């Protein structure tokens, strides 16, 4: 069985430990690679030497670096995990691709703007590098069963997908990715969106809207709506799949999956062990990344899938800038929200 040499860029500190500035995703990645039985954890790089050493000691990593470019040059790596903040995803992914690795697994969101996201995918495609992003919720049963029921006709023909979450960019990348997952990766046709930014918010250094609406249409005619931030309904529903003969709810509370079908009396609960933040999701995602590399197939987490959700995010921002609908594919390269903040075309009116 092929053994893959794995390196990590940006390991940070474990989640909720002293000095942690994130969720410690590199630790989750490392556990996932180890669980496959097909990977050697060879090297890690972090600008804080103590972080790199602690990560190496915890996970049995052979060598540490404070310069990721030196690690890429010195180590003959097959897979690299990029676990840094979003503004570093593009340069680090491009450097890893150019170093000759076979696969790169990057944290989400993809990039700071639409141009960077497309460039990452383009370069990796040209070099034959399998680029994936950690939209790990695809591997949790509530979402998988909701997709199966929609596909099997439990609610008739799928007409619409709805959801709500805290923001369009950091959290919304997961929810929009699930929308495409439910609808069999069908591309979007157009996006109509609006954002409000009266309260200053950030996630991992990236400004977020305080409230947003994203309406879009898939090419197969299915509609979608995502609400974010202030004003989202407090009904416990994360996703709602609406069909001609019923609806499916994926919920934050228990039961987290239920269906209302024509001919049935009331809601039917779908029993399953996972929740919406299942602890095994990242390990399952890593297992798929490694298996896809070994089998020569495309992972469910491929950049090609991630680009669909990412385009809708940036098209929502662009729609707000244009004050009109954005037809896809989108040709602009920037992040319209960040550009509007810089020019003053969208303003903060309070701080919270």
Q: What is the pLDDT of residues 96-127, one digit of tens each?
A: 999 999 999 999 999 999 999 999 999 999 99
- Sheet with strand 103-106: strands edge to edge: 63-65, 39-45, 4-9, 79-82, 103-106, 130-133
* CB burial string 91-117: b at 16+ within 10 A, e below: bbbbbbbebebebbbbbbbbbbbbebb
Kindly tell me if the per-residue pLDDT of 279 is higher than 80.
no
pLDDT at residue 248 in the model: 98
Cα→Cα distances 11→26, 43, 57, 88, 105, Å: 5, 11, 12, 13, 14
Reported as type and span, the H/E element at residue 200 is strand 199-203
What three-state secondary structure class fits 319?
helix
Give per-residue pLDDT as tens, 300-351. 999 999 999 999 999 999 999 999 999 999 999 999 999 999 999 987 765 4
Kindly tell me if the per-residue pLDDT of 196 is higher than 70.
yes
Kindly tell me if the per-residue pLDDT of 93 is higher than 80.
yes
Give per-residue pLDDT as tens, 25-61. 999 999 999 999 999 999 999 999 999 999 999 999 9
pLDDT at residue 104 in the model: 98
Return the structure tokens found at 79.
């897979």
Kindly tell me if the per-residue pLDDT of 271 is higher than 70.
yes
Domains of the chain as residue ranges with CATH: 4-136+281-300 (3.40.50.720), 139-276+308-343 (3.30.360.10)
pTM, two decimals, is: 0.95
Q: Would you say 341 and 321 are in contact if contact means Cβ atoms under 8 Å apart? A: no
Higher-pLDDT residue of 198 and 31 is 31
- Strand-pair category, 103-106 with 130-133: parallel
Give per-residue pLDDT as tens, 218-249. 999 999 999 999 878 888 999 999 999 999 99
Give the mean model confidence (pLDDT) for residues 260-282.
89
- Strand-pair category, 246-251 with 257-261: antiparallel
Kindly tell me if the per-residue pLDDT of 141 is higher than 50.
yes
pLDDT at residue 349 in the model: 62
Which residue has tokens 């799949």? 241
Percent of the chain with pLDDT over 70: 98
- Of the pLDDT bands very low, low, confident and very high (cuts 50, 70, 90), residue 14 is confident
Query: Distance between CA 9 and CA 43 in Å, rounded?
Result: 9
pLDDT, the chain, mean: 95
Give the mean model confidence (pLDDT) for residues 285-311.
98
Percent of the chain with pLDDT over 90: 87
Higher-pLDDT residue of 200 and 218 is 218
């Amino acid at each position: 069985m092929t053994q893959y040499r794995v390196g990590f860029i940006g390991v940070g500190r474990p989640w909720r430990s002293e000095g942690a500035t994130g969720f410690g995703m590199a630790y989750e990645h490392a556990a996932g690679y180890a669980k496959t039985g097909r990977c050697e954890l060879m090297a890690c790089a972090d600008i804080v030497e103590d972080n790199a050493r602690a990560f190496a000691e915890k996970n049995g990593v052979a060598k540490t670096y404070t310069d990721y470019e030196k690690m890429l040059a010195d180590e003959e790596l097959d897979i690299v995990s990029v676990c840094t903040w979003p503004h570093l995803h593009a340069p680090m992914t491009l450097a890893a691709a150019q170093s000759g690795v076979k696969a790169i697994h990057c944290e989400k969101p993809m990039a700071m703007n639409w141009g960077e996201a497309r460039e990452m995918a383009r370069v990796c495609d040209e070099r034959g590098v399998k680029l994936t992003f950690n939209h790990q919720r695809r591997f949790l049963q509530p979402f998988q069963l909701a997709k199966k029921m929609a596909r099997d006709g439990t609610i008739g023909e799928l007409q619409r997908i709805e959801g709500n979450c805290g923001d369009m960019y950091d959290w919304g990348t997961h929810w929009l990715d699930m929308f495409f997952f439910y609808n069999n990766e069908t591309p979007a046709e157009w996006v109509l969106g609006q954002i409000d930014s009266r309260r200053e918010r950030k996630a991992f250094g990236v400004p977020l809207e305080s409230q947003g609406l994203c309406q879009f249409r898939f090419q197969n005619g299915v509609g979608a709506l995502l609400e974010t931030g202030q004003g989202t309904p407090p009904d416990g529903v994360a996703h709602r799949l609406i069909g001609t003969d019923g609806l499916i709810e994926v919920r934050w509370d228990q039961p987290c999956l239920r269906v209302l079908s024509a001919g049935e009396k009331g809601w039917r609960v779908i029993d399953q062990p996972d929740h919406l933040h299942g602890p095994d999701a990242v390990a399952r995602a890593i297992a798929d990344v490694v298996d896809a590399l070994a089998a020569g197939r495309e992972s469910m987490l491929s950049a090609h899938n991630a680009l669909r959700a990412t385009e809708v995010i940036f098209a929502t921002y662009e729609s707000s800038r244009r004050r009109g609908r954005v037809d896809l594919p989108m040709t602009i390269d920037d992040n319209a929200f960040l550009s509007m903040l810089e020019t003053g075309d969208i303003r903060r009116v309070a701080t919270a």
